[in-house]
Amino acid sequence: MSQSKNANLIENNINRIDKYQRSSRNVGFIVAVVKRFGDEKVGYLGALITYYGFLSLFPLLLILTSVLDIVASGNPEIKVKILEYASSYVPILGDQLQSNIPGSSKSGVALFVGLLFLFYGARGVADAFRHAVNSIWHTPKGQLQTFPQNYLSSVYIILLGGCGLIASAGLATYASGLGDFFLFKILSVALGSILLIATFYGLFRIAVTKTEVSHGDLVLGAVLSGLGILLLQLVGGFILANQLKNLRNLYGTFALVLGLLFWIYLQVRVVLFAVMINVVHKYRYWPVCISADEKIT
């Protein structure tokens, strides 16, 4: 009898919460985003992007280092600056990453090896990204890209994403290095946010192949993604410092690997939540029903 009463009590409370969230536009929207994120297993898609992103990180840095050794051989300061910008995208861990990337000679051996890994790793993260955003947008199978367009799109995503993220980190670092004046801090944030928003808009435009999705439909997701990643960059040092402290105590030398996985997955979830918000907003997928008494179609 007591179990039945407890079950009824829980059900009644759920019904009250459901009634409230369906009567509140803002709360109902948030509930719809979170519910669809879980129901559509978007977290698993994020884990796949994280895996390929981690797999591609070292080859990408190896490629960047090798190319800079050749292109900027006469101006080592440029190479140092670009590598600093690239490493600054990963707070605290960036310097450790850079120190673990070996130098390369002009023989092209390191570049060739890096390109082989890049093909599997970096193209994999681009493929996983395209699959995730198209899954969230419910792109029909007949509208998904096939060979060779899918390969070309993945290459474009790698180039645009890599250049955009490094450039945004570089602009923010350069602007903040102009001085401690408050205006320079604002300039740093503004430049970083504009470039990140533009980068994510380009990435979504390349990735999403659903014909009914217009250019304007992708703006909300790009803005939320750019601002979300920028916020993570601003507080990333604090987050990773606390996370790494616990990881080092438990896992020792594996802390760097786990810290990187944590950082990549955190950013991926922010971006995928932004895409889900975009989709729920466009198609008015709210309110949703969270009780067993009624189903909303």
Rounded distance between C-alpha atoms, residue 28 and residue 23, angstroms: 7
- Comparing 159 with 294, the larger pLDDT belongs to 159
* C-alpha closest to that of 177 among 81, 92, 96, 98: 81
C-beta neighbour count of 143 within 10 angstroms: 14
Q: What is the pTM of this model?
A: 0.85
SS3 of the chain: helix, strand, coil, percent, to 5: 80, 0, 20
Residues 207, 129 contacting (CB under 8 angstroms): yes
Please report which helix (H) or strand (E) contains residue 258, including its range. helix 255-283
DSSP per-residue letters across 182-211: HHHHHHHHHHHHHHHHHHHHHHHHHH---T
Res 13: pLDDT = 79
Residues 63, 118 contacting (CB under 8 angstroms): yes
Rounded distance between C-alpha atoms, residue 262 and residue 79, angstroms: 28
Give residue-wise pLDDT tens across range 117-161: 666 667 889 999 999 999 999 999 999 999 889 989 998 998 899
Instruction: Cis check for the bond before 148: say yes or no (omega within 30 of 0).
Output: yes
Tokens of 26: 């803002």
Given a cut of 80, whether residue 73 has pLDDT beyond it is: no
Give residue-wise pLDDT tens across range 193-208: 999 999 999 999 999 9
Lowest mean pLDDT among 27-36, 115-124, 142-151, 276-285: 115-124
Rounded to the nearest 5°, which phi and psi values hold at 121?
-75, -60
Tokens of 232: 């993570």
Rounded distance between C-alpha atoms, residue 125 and residue 173, angstroms: 26
What percent of the chain clears pLDDT 70, i.e. is strictly above it? 70
Q: Is the Cα torsion angle 224, 227, 230, 234 positive or negative in sign? A: negative
Res 47: pLDDT = 95
User: CB-side exposure of 219: number of CA atoms within 13 Å?
Assistant: 4
DSSP category for residue 38: H
